[in-house]
Amino acid sequence: MTTPLKARGSTSYHAGLAAEEIVAELFARKGMATLAKRWRGSAGEIDVIVQDGDGVVFIEVKKSKTHGGAALRVTPKQLQRIYTTGAEFLETMPKGQLTDVRVDVALIDEVGRVDVIENVSMAA
């Protein structure tokens, strides 16, 4: 029997997968091929990675009732994890660490609307 807490966790997990799929499709419509979803390195995981010309975009996906609520869930620690994990991913690319890179955050609200913040940094 599934407990309410486990059911909630399962629902969140599947909602996260669906959100990542929506984001990958959005970038695909812009002509960017998906290189990986939930790519795991030694420092953590990157939700979606797409090819943008010769460069790569690492995308952190956040889902909440509102875009503002989703944005509040992006922390400097998470961004640092993406940078560290991204450096590891770049070792799989032909240009390695010389690959052009940006980090985007995709915010998804409860009805599936997406707002992408391009080229985020840890600077406030």
In angstroms, the CA 63 to CA 114 distance is 9
How far is Cα of residue 5 from the mean position of the Cα atoms in its chain? 25
pTM for the model stands at: 0.87
What's the mean per-residue pLDDT of the chain?
89
Average pLDDT over residues 13-38: 91
CA pair distance 70, 106, nearest whole angstrom: 9
Residue 5 confidence class, pLDDT cut points 50, 70, 90: low
pLDDT tens digit sequence for 73-108: 999 999 999 999 999 999 999 999 999 999 999 999
Query: Which residue is associated with the tokens 């960017």?
Result: 32
Residue 71: how many CA atoms within 13 Å on its side-chain side?
9
Distance CA 54, CA 91 (A): 15
